[in-house]
Amino acid sequence: MLTGFHLRIGNHLATLPIGWFGADRTGPVGRLVAKDATDVADFPAHLLRHLIVGVTTPTTLIIGSYLSDWRIGIALTLGASACLMSLRLYMLVVHRNDAQYEHDIGATASRIVEYARLQPTLRAYGVLTHQELGTLEASLHRQQHSQSRLTVRGAWGLIGCFGTMQLVVTAIIAFTVALTLHGDMAPATMIGLLIITLRMVDPLSQFGDLAGHVQVTADAIRRVRELLATPPLPEPHRDVAAAGADIELRGVYFGYHDGATVINGVDAILPNGSLTAIVGPSGAGKTTLLRLIARFFDVDAGSILLGGRDVRELGTDTVAHQTAQVFEDAYLFDGTIADNLRMADPDASETQLCRVAAIARLDEVIERLPNGWDSRVGEGGSALSGGERQRVAIARALLKNAPVVLLDEATAALDAANEAAVTAAIRELARDHTVIVVAHQLSTIRAADQILVLDNGRITARGPHDVLITAGGTYTRFWEERLRARGWQLRQTPAATAGST
């Protein structure tokens, strides 16, 4: 059963939209796979037998008591009902507090992963002590508080549950003895009914011990079902091929789950064999627009056409095959550099690897590493610098040789010389590919065939650099700011020079 759950969860995760996988999903999904699925599979293995005994044994004994004395049967029925009500109340307490605890422990797991991966940044800002852990510390406090609340409230619920059982047993014993003393019941019958009463308590007590686990399992089943019920992107019923690599955006609207509209009525045509640069202020929707083209999400309104076909009609697999993506937060898997490149083409030859490495200037990195192509990059590429990781990602995208290439700040982490080389490679790539780049680098922007100026989710200007720079407006201000930023340089003051050693 556990194997089946893991297969179902893994297969379903592979169908969910890429945009669903945010940083806040890491901990909850990991806990769901590692713990919740195990709890669900543990239920039939270890809890189901006790649950069946805890229900069927009291039921059988109560029915048998009616055959001896209907008054005792009614008393046992009422007593069992009171016990079940107290059990239900206890499980309700566990349910209400377990949900918050699971949420907090999932959030803590995400923060721990974040804390481990961001050690260079944290140490750069002096976040080293227990008091300075920030969000991780707050998350741990919330988890501790919710766990304590679950334990304390669950303990009171369990005390109430067992207290009710003891009161029921005491009341039935007193009632049976009273009937015997008044001559309404034979002593032999009284002894038999008392044995039935005491025998009924054992399975109920076991059920009380396991009620919390049963409720935790029920909550785990609910979370697994919620994940499995998360709808994937709709896929076409038949295979459709794109007729080319032209991209057209028609009245595209999109907003995330918080309700804010990020892309607000975008229309654009991005021809094959062209380089399109998307520029604009932070938060304008540039990266979101690239992810919509790659079908990380589906648009709320309008359509995105690839080769004359709506990407929803093409389907996720076809769109993924037609696009290569290099985003700002490039991720590398824990393997060799060659392994990471061959994700794009497992059958790539050494010659092909060397060619794309030269274009992305990755060959310089490989030459200075002791193991060359067999150098391991570490989890997430942690063994490489930011610029080196970006070069590997660019080379991987080049090796895929997809007709559409999406680049989000692909040259941001490169020095001036490598930036110029990669920009030239991008321009060469645009001769027979549709290349869309979100960029702030002047060389990349100026080399574009067309520039889309995005502001508040709308295209406010479009055209080549020479046309936009003379038109004034947002693009001119953007260009002038970039020129000023490019002219910034660190200067050493005379005082600093005199005091240096």
CATH code: domain of residue 29: 1.20.1560.10
How far is CA 138 from each of CA 20, 118, 145, rounded to the nearest angstrom? 25, 17, 11
Q: What is the pTM of this model?
A: 0.66
Instruction: Tell whether 309 and 390 lie within a shared domain.
Output: yes
Instruction: Tell whether 218 and 269 lie within a shared domain.
Output: no
Instruction: Tell whether 223 and 328 lie within a shared domain.
Output: no
Whole-number pLDDT of residue 249: 92
Instruction: Evaluate whether 318 touches 307 at the Cβ level (below 8 Å).
Output: no
Whole-number pLDDT of residue 218: 80
**3-class secondary-structure state, position 169:** helix
Whole-number pLDDT of residue 494: 47
CATH number at residue 285: 3.40.50.300
Q: Give the Cα-Cα-Cα angle 410, 416, 419 (nearest 5 degrees).
A: 30
Is 282 within a domain? Answer: yes
Instruction: Tell whether 269 and 130 lie within a shared domain.
Output: no
Q: Look at residues 229, 260, 288 and tell me which one is the last residue of a structural domain.
A: 229
Domain count, the chain: 2
Instruction: Tell whether 453 and 313 lie within a shared domain.
Output: yes
Is 58 within a domain? Answer: yes
Whole-number pLDDT of residue 224: 83
- What is the distance, to the nearest Å, from the Cα of residue 290 to the centroid of all Cα atoms in its chain? 20
> How would you classify residue 451: left for phi > 0, otherwise alpha for psi between -120 and 50, otherwise beta?
beta
Is 239 within a domain? Answer: no
For residues 176 and 198, give the distance between their C-alpha atoms in angstroms, rounded to a whole number: 12
The whole domain housing 85 covers 2-229
**3-class secondary-structure state, position 241:** coil
Q: Which two tokens stand for residue 103?
A: 């949420």
Long-range contacts of 316-320 (CB under 8 A, 24+ apart): 316/233, 316/235, 318/239, 318/240, 318/241, 318/242, 319/294, 319/295, 320/294, 320/295
Whole-number pLDDT of residue 120: 61
Is 237 within a domain? Answer: no
pLDDT digits (tens, 9 = 90+) for 299-320: 889 999 998 889 888 888 888 8
Instruction: Tell whether 431 and 382 lie within a shared domain.
Output: yes
Whole-number pLDDT of residue 395: 86
Q: Look at residues 197, 229, 261 and tell me which one is the last residue of a structural domain.
A: 229
Instruction: Tell whether 331 and 412 lie within a shared domain.
Output: yes
Whole-number pLDDT of residue 223: 82
**3-class secondary-structure state, position 117:** helix
Is 493 within a domain? Answer: no
Instruction: Tell whether 182 and 266 lie within a shared domain.
Output: no
Pick from 204, 212, 214, 223: which is nearest to 47 by CA?
214
**3-class secondary-structure state, position 463:** strand
Segments of the chain with pLDDT less than 50: 129-132, 489-501
Is 498 within a domain? Answer: no
Instruction: Tell whether 433 and 312 lie within a shared domain.
Output: yes
Is 235 within a domain? Answer: no
Phi, psi (deg, nearest 5) at residue 463: 140, 180
Instruction: Tell whether 25 and 166 lie within a shared domain.
Output: yes
For residues 350 and 353, give the distance between their C-alpha atoms in angstroms, rounded to a whole number: 5
Whole-number pLDDT of residue 259: 67
For residues 335 and 325, give the distance between their C-alpha atoms in angstroms, rounded to a whole number: 20
Q: Look at residues 229, 264, 290 and tell me which one is the last residue of a structural domain.
A: 229
pLDDT digits (tens, 9 = 90+) for 450-478: 889 888 888 888 888 888 888 777 777 77
**3-class secondary-structure state, position 460:** strand
Whole-number pLDDT of residue 134: 57
Instruction: Tell whether 310 and 399 lie within a shared domain.
Output: yes
Instruction: Tell whether 72 and 110 lie within a shared domain.
Output: yes
